[in-house]
Structure 1
Amino acid sequence: MTATKQRLDPALIRLAVVMLTGVLAVVFDTTIVNVALDTLGRELQVGVATVQWVTTGYLLALGVSVPVTGWLIDRWGGKRIWMIALVIFLAGSIGASLAPSATALIAWRVFQGVGGGLMLPVMTTLLVQAAGGEMLGSAVALISMPIVLGPVLGPFIGGLIVEHLSWRWIFWVNVPFCVAGLILAWRLMPPLPGSGRARLDVPGLLLITPGIAAAVFALSRVGVDDGFLYPSVIVPLLASAVLLAVFAARSWRRGDRALVDVRLFRAGSFSAASALLFLSGFTLYGGMLLVPLYFQQVRGTSAFVAGLLIGVQGLGVLASRSVAGTLTDRIGARWVTFAGLVVVAVATVPFALATAHTTEWWLVATLILRGVGLGAVTIPVMASAYVGLAKPEVPHASIITRVAQQIGGSFGTAVIAVILSRAIATHAPADAFDIAFWWSIAFTLAALALAPRLPVPASVR
């Protein structure tokens, strides 16, 4: 491979910088808000059942807006939809920051979620289409950086704001990113027009939208009800399964005329990548639940210090990001992902063996190593989902992978939370966390079975 081919196109880098500037607001937003939920409940004088809708309402809106992104891009063009999504997210952020009550805050968060739900798949679609097939790994290294770092740095930023400023600042943080993103998009982003010929698959939309919403709602209730075996969880999960099954069967028959072309699952590499993105909820988001709680409940650190400690995992992600992208382009996603999963599992073992007296610096060092593994998993898996796809298929792939990530993150967090809750009920805190970490390792090892199904270039087979 020549040096010229190894370099990303400057136009692609410029487009990535423009879009990443705006999308940083979205990837930090959810985790920052989660840190502030306790403060929001106290200051707005509402209980947990109400304040949790600040997050749940946002996630529901985010989930139901994802499926229409492919149609919107084709109908009105990438640049226009990107800027509209930024404006919606900006308006929602300002509205949330000025909300006089919990009801108003929840309403603005729903509005904000619509913009956020559009931004991530639009960004992925446009950047993957611009990159083409040859440099997918390096391109995805750019795309995935904020997506991976959001859950790592968000709690740290949120802890700083909650401890030193008013809760309203957690929404004002989004404003500079949105404004800068709008200015850069207006000045530097190419027109990226759509064909204008796409017709909206209304029956498909009426199936998939409540299907995703029901799944996200059910999984958000798991933590509130402390388990899956409750009507508030089981009923919407079953409804979601039925709606999504009917949607998939109908979409398979319609092919590229469907809202989402599920025939992409015929490719083994795409199916494996989607499944691995779903399972990443157990390794990334499940781990992001356990680690800060471990430091607070077992080690006795403050929320701010726990956020600072977990932030070092981002150093590992940064260290492996560009290397993982380059290796994916050279040797394919299969072995990079396999090695990354092994590193994540090995780096989690010290937490599963830890006691209240384990040296803190040892745990911090393993967090950095864990971040290296996470970076080596996320980038090749995302890249492999787009290998061999034609340009019109990329928006469909972006929708599917985004839904897999979102539901997988919710499901992984819910399962790990239930495991931890049940363990705490019968064990000492340190032992309970050991059990939960072993489960997290088991889920990571289970993902290893899917890694061999990811593609490798013909030159290294």
Structure 2
Amino acid sequence: MSYRSKVAVVYLLGFFIDLINMFIANVAYPAIAHSLRASVAGLAWVSNGYIMGLTLAIPLSAWLTQRAGARQVFLLSLALFTLATAAASFADSLSALVFWRVAQGAGGGLLIPVGQALAWRLYAPHERAKIASAVMLVGLLAPALSPAAGGLLITALGWRGVFFASLPLALATLALAYCWLRREAPADRSAPPDATGLALGCGALFLLLFGLTRLSGSHATGLAALLLLAGGTLLALFARRCRKRPAPVLNLNLLADPLLRFSMAVYQGVPGVFIGISLVAMLWLQNQLGLTPSAAGMLMMPWSLGSFLAICLTGKTFNALGPRPLIMAGCLLQAAGIALLTQIESGEQQAALAGAFALMGVGGSLCSSAAQSSAFLNTPNAALPDAAALWNINRQLSFCFGVALFTLLLDQLCAHFAPAQAYSWTFWCAALATLLPLPLCFRLDNRAVKLRLVPKQETS
């Protein structure tokens, strides 16, 4: 196996572990609530704590990589993740569980951007669609397998089993990373850490995530707006500081690349919308159409099949077509799938439900895989740690924003309309939001992107 294949395997294993831990705990909520006597609001932090720890650690990834080297940071993040996973398995209170979930997330927050930067720099631009497809396949498998695997583990081992299950794979990945990853000299040992910039960046992300969490709850209060305003202010101060510092926490100058900005906007407009509307759809399927939780969950199967088809199609056609036609088709297909939900009035319309979820799977994955393949085409290898950190922060915020926006919208509509009408209007708004990246597609220089994807001729 070539060195770059080994790096890709280690990164994909780490990515899989991270995603499994993001999704698998959800199915354990009832058992955790009973065991630890937790409220619904407290349980939300079992998931939100992981996401928060993950997002807050990402700004550190590029700086730590420059100071200590990618291999050392990757091993450190895996070790932290493994330790926190074991500790979460033995937590005897909700507060202890949430604390270790935050620590788990911090390990994952370092793991993903560092591993992504390590892998991407070993592949030429015209080869990155293939590794992006592999990443998307892992991203497809984790949410598809997690609910079923989690249910079996809880039945056999109780809720602690969902955390114990990650340990063997985490330890195996740690061993492979130790054996396979090459030790590299740090890029910069002289630049001092920008403690003020780091505090501003982490403070901004914390306030934004906390504010979005408050918005996505059943009681949207003025406190949520205040938190978001404070987070936005700190974010503006952080951006200003990063542009002035010679060695910033994050290199925001990379956002001058229109292709990176375009790819990040697509992620906000399509995958982010789907994460939010999928939560609304699960409530609608059970509360309005009367489906059982298992029947509602089974609709992720046509979504997974559609997503798999889209990922394979992107891997085979991206270099020839470029991102524009794939993303435009993806926006239209996901919007059509969401709009189809407004025409369904009974849980017995199984074919229509399966078709809607399949359309969302094809459309969403066309956009996400094409955006992932495009994001770093113009990024030099030396800047990949910073670019990967920016990309992953945007990905996490898109998920939080999608959930907050559409649960808040549904809550407000339910206060003024009958539930069936409120769900219908929410679906229509989500379908329109999915189309927002379309104008950006027309401004994209697709021909220039395709030229970047032409393999360079080897010279003798």
Alignment of 1:356-395 (within 5 A): 356-357=346-347, 359-395=349-385
1: CA distance, partners of 2:150 / 2:128 = 33
> Does the alignment pair 1:103 with 2:105?
no
2: CA distance, partners of 1:76 / 1:201 = 16
1: CA distance, partners of 2:121 / 2:63 = 15
Alignment of 1:172-183 (within 5 A): 172-183=164-175
State which drifts further: 307-316 or 202-211: 307-316
2: CA distance, partners of 1:62 / 1:340 = 28
Contact 2:330 2:362 (C-alpha < 8 Å) held by counterparts: yes
TM-score, scaled to structure 2: 0.91
> Does the alignment pair 1:449 with 2:429?
no
Compared CA separation, residues 252 and 304, structure 1 to 2 (3 A): same
Contact 2:257 2:378 (C-alpha < 8 Å) held by counterparts: no
1: CA distance, partners of 2:439 / 2:45 = 37
User: Which residue of 1 is the match for residue 59 of structure 2?
Assistant: 67
> Does the alignment pair 1:208 with 2:201?
yes
State which drifts further: 18-27 or 188-197: 188-197
1: CA distance, partners of 2:328 / 2:155 = 40
- SS of structure 1 residue aligned to 2:403: helix
> Which among 13, 31, 38 is matched to residue 5 of structure 2?
13
User: Which residue of 2 is the match for residue 4 of structure 1?
Assistant: none
Deviation at 1:45, TM superposition (A): 0.9
Deviation at 1:442, TM superposition (A): 1.0
2: CA distance, partners of 1:198 / 1:370 = 48
> Does the alignment pair 1:132 with 2:130?
no
1: CA distance, partners of 2:113 / 2:128 = 16
Q: Give the AA of the match of 1:14.
A: K
The alignment-based identity, stated in percent, is 27
Runs of at least 5 residues in structure 2 that lack an aligned partner in the other structure: 452-460
1: CA distance, partners of 2:3 / 2:126 = 15
Q: Give the AA of the match of 1:452.
A: F
Deviation at 1:260, TM superposition (A): 0.8
Compared CA separation, residues 156 and 311, structure 1 to 2 (3 A): farther
Contact 2:80 2:107 (C-alpha < 8 Å) held by counterparts: yes
User: Which residue of 2 is the match for residue 3 of structure 1?
Assistant: none
User: Which residue of 2 is the match for residue 406 of structure 1?
Assistant: 396
* Number of aligned positions between the proteins: 450
Contact 2:329 2:363 (C-alpha < 8 Å) held by counterparts: yes
Q: Give the AA of the match of 1:187.
A: C
User: Which residue of 2 is the match for residue 120 of structure 1?
Assistant: 112
TM-score, scaled to structure 1: 0.90
Deviation at 1:338, TM superposition (A): 1.1
1: CA distance, partners of 2:72 / 2:179 = 13
1:372-422 Cα deviation digits (max 9, x unpaired): 212210111122221211112111111111111111110111111112223
Contact 1:330 1:457 (C-alpha < 8 Å) held by counterparts: no
1: CA distance, partners of 2:190 / 2:287 = 53
Runs of at least 5 residues in structure 1 that lack an aligned partner in the other structure: 1-8
> Does the alignment pair 1:345 with 2:335?
yes
1: CA distance, partners of 2:216 / 2:157 = 28
> Which among 324, 329, 337 is matched to residue 319 of structure 2?
329
Contact 2:266 2:367 (C-alpha < 8 Å) held by counterparts: no
State which drifts further: 427-436 or 121-130: 427-436
> Which among 159, 173, 177 is matched to residue 167 of structure 1?
159
Contact 1:141 1:321 (C-alpha < 8 Å) held by counterparts: yes
2: CA distance, partners of 1:150 / 1:436 = 27
Deviation at 1:15, TM superposition (A): 2.0
Question: How large is the RMSD of aligned CA atoms in angstroms?
Answer: 2.3
- SS of structure 1 residue aligned to 2:245: helix
User: Which residue of 1 is the match for residue 241 of structure 2?
Assistant: 250
2: CA distance, partners of 1:329 / 1:13 = 21
1: CA distance, partners of 2:441 / 2:115 = 26
User: Which residue of 2 is the match for residue 41 of structure 1?
Assistant: 33
> Does the alignment pair 1:304 with 2:304?
no
